[in-house]
Amino acid sequence: MKKYSVTAKSLKEQSYNVIKEAIIRGVLSDNEALTEKKAKELFGISRTPFREAIQRLEAEEWLISIPYKGTYVNPLTMQDVEDILQIRLIIEIAMAKKAAENITNEQIDILQNLMGKMKSVSSEQSDYEFTLIDQEFHKTINQFGNNKRLVSMSEHLYDLIRRIAMTVLKSPIRRKEVIEEHLKIIEGLRTNNVEKTLLHHYDRVRFEADKYFSSL
């Protein structure tokens, strides 16, 4: 298994980020136990930054501690997907509609350039890399909405969204669908009809997630 290491800069923050990204990537699986020994072996994290990172990850519900048993990766559920989609529906649609009112050709070009980076097959781009670009696409639209407070409120969502995306992308055709849906969102921004395209995008995420969880 690949070892992800922590360097000197802010060990607490780096330890937090390394463990969280390991959960998003699937390096640490749902319900998997995480001990100091395992964190040291996998990530090079020592005792104190590990304990500090664990406290924060538990507070954010990435991890869960069970008395007398240990600390485990909090499993992703369909209810998590529904909760996140509900928040996205409120925040992202508001910012996208605002962005669409004054969208410029230059901003459309920025979004299209991002789309050019998304590859439809996993042999050319890992699921993890694909989800990072997907995240950048949606966050860029948020920034075009020109509401700093809403952007700030949405920031903490995107790591959870990437975790969901890493699950949903297990469907072999989902990448192509995401690219097509994003292109429709760009067109919706251009024509000031973006709400419909975003709602369709969320519905597809919900459908794929439900299909995945129903198969477990």
Which residues partner with 190 through β-bridges? none
Q: What's residue 156's pLDDT?
A: 82
Q: Which three-class secondary structure state does DSSP give residue 65? A: strand
Query: Which pTM does this prediction carry?
Result: 0.89
Q: Give the pLDDT of the chain (216 residues) as one tens digit per residue.
A: 555 555 545 888 999 999 999 999 999 999 999 999 999 999 999 999 999 999 999 999 999 999 999 999 999 999 999 999 999 999 999 999 999 999 999 999 999 999 999 999 888 999 999 999 999 999 999 999 999 998 988 888 999 999 999 988 777 789 999 999 999 999 999 999 999 999 999 999 999 999 999 998
Indicate the CATH number of 78-214 among 3.40.50.1970, 3.40.50.300, 1.10.1040.10, 1.20.120.530.
1.20.120.530
CATH 1.10.10.10 domain residues, the chain: 11-73
Q: What's residue 11's pLDDT?
A: 85
For residue 3, give the DSSP letter.
Answer: P
Instruction: Give the fold, CATH level 3, of 11-73.
Output: Arc Repressor Mutant, subunit A (1.10.10)
Which residue blocks in the chain are alpha helix, DSSP H?
11-25, 36-43, 47-59, 78-101, 105-117, 127-144, 148-155, 157-168, 174-190, 194-214
Structure tokens at 165: 């995306």
The phi and psi torsions of 92 (rounded to 5 degrees) equal: -65, -40
| 28: Cβ contacts below 8 Å, ≥ 6 apart | 19, 22, 34, 73
For residue 2, give the DSSP letter.
Answer: P
Q: What's residue 34's pLDDT?
A: 97
CATH 1.20.120.530 domain residues, the chain: 78-214
